[in-house]
Amino acid sequence: MRVLSGIQPTGRFHWGNYFGAIRQYIALQGNEQAFYFIADYHALTTIDRPETVRKVNEERFTPGKLAEYTLDAALDLLALGLDPQQATLFRQSDVPEVTELTWLLMTVTQMHLLEKCHAYKDKKDRGIPADAGLFTYPVLMAADILLYDSDVVPVGLDQVQHIEVTRDIAQRFNRIFDAEVFVLPEAKVLDQTAKVPGLDGQKMSKSYGNTIPLFDTPKRLRKTIMKITTDSTPVEDPKDPESCSVFTLYKLFADEQQQAALAARYRAGGMGYGEAKQTLYKAAMEYFGDAFERREKLAADLDTVEDILRAGAGEAREKGREVLERARTACGLRATPLSDE
Ligand code: ADP
Ligand code: TRP
């Protein structure tokens, strides 16, 4: 059984990414063969265009940022416990075979499948012009999955549609070319009970500019936590923990006993939100303490990180070439390009 998933380097990872996705990828690395990659080709579809410069958080997503976020993503994943002995970690663009497979798949992909995909549809509905890259994004994603004979793909609910498209494309390819070229993957929907709220109480997301970055200096982290929106109940009054984002976030880090203790303090009155935020800050520092240390060490040793990505790409390419050869042969092309002989 091969588990595979990809994550886009379109910004610095935040608490929502960790509790909603990364934590679960890491949990799956032990019992299965696991391939995880940083989807930099996909991220290209969101590099700022002149007509869509982000208005929410002034930071622009430029090609220089792409390289920075890609490396950051590798550092973050490794610091958080992704173990290169157990899982294969690589950059999507280090395996260019995936773009060739994308073309082969594109030739059997029906337009209506892509027209109903939400990333493209949302843009179109909002009157924003879409590029062909955004429109065909699900085909690249299908190639990511099919290139490695992946069986299980852990993803958030919003990506399940793309796995269904992947299965449709794989089946159609197998049927048209009358060969069992591709393995049909299954989506494994990540536990979304951890829908992490952001600073303003909405879902934490880069697009809303309300994130708490995973790795920041302690001082900045504290400052960010202090910005979490709370109501205006006076310090002395009792407060409802269940309707407070600070408490919801605290639950991610604390065991049941700790949660009960803080909830009791909310209900008793006499505790201001500033104090609750300080408790959250301490809990987060403790929770991510080891990861902070590991990340610092890795950041001082980027050669090792590069070696891990290089070795990962090597393993991924070996598997990818084998599958691409099957696909090329099935469509009547030479099994391998001349340059690889
Ligand atoms: P963003 O919304 O910040 O752009 P992405 O869409 O890149 O984040 O999300 C990457 C992964 O992190 C997805 O699998 C998604 O399900 C998960 N994720 C992102 N934000 C949250 C959140 N607030 N709560 C739970 N999971 C999240
Ligand atoms: N599209 C996914 C996302 O935005 C990232 C991704 C790219 C992916 N290729 C993939 C996820 C292949 C799983 C499998 O979250």
Over 146-165, what HEC string results? HCCCCCEEEECHHHHHHHHH
Q: Are 9 and 69 a contacting pair, CB within 8 Å?
A: yes
Q: Is-same-fold flag (2-194+302-340; 216-287)? A: no
Question: Which ligand gives the minimal distance to the CA of 43?
Answer: 2
| Cα-to-centroid distance, 281 and ligand 2 (Å) | 31
Angle at 69 between CA 67 and CA 73, to 5 degrees: 120
CA distance 45 to 17: 20
Into which CATH architecture does domain 2-194+302-340 fall? 3-Layer(aba) Sandwich (3.40)
Buried b (16+ CB within 10 A) or exposed e, 282-310: ebbeeebeebbebbeebeeeeeebeebbe
How much is the pLDDT for 30? Answer: 81
Span 237-283, pLDDT tens digits: 999 999 999 999 999 999 999 999 999 999 999 999 999 999 999 99
Residue nearest to atom 9 of ligand 2 (CA): 141
Among the options 124, 188, 203, 282, which is catalytic? 203
Name the residue among 161, 158, 254, 191 with its Cα closest to residue 21: 191
Tell me the domain boundaries of the chain.
Answer: 2-194+302-340, 216-287
How much is the pLDDT for 54? Answer: 55
Name the residue among 154, 153, 144, 175 with its Cα closest to residue 324: 144
How much is the pLDDT for 245? Answer: 96
Among the options 206, 251, 277, 319, which is catalytic? 206
Nearest-atom number in ligand 2 for the CA of 140 is: 9
| Cα-to-centroid distance, 205 and ligand 1 (Å) | 6
How much is the pLDDT for 166? Answer: 98
Residue nearest to atom 8 of ligand 1 (CA): 205
How much is the pLDDT for 58? Answer: 62
Nearest-atom number in ligand 1 for the CA of 211 is: 3
Ligand 2 touching residue 155 (CB < 6 A): yes
The Cα diameter of the chain in Å comes to 77
How much is the pLDDT for 196? Answer: 93
Is 203 a catalytic site residue? Answer: yes
CA distance 220 to 28: 31
Among the options 121, 123, 124, 282, which is catalytic? 123
Q: Are 195 and 156 a contacting pair, CB within 8 Å?
A: no
**φ, ψ dihedrals at 181, nearest 5°:** -80, -45
Q: Which residues of the chain have pLDDT under 50?
A: none
Span 282-319, pLDDT tens digits: 999 999 999 999 999 999 999 999 999 999 999 999 99
CA distance 28 to 31: 6
DSSP category for residue 50: G
Is 206 a catalytic site residue? Answer: yes
Into which CATH architecture does domain 216-287 fall? Orthogonal Bundle (1.10)
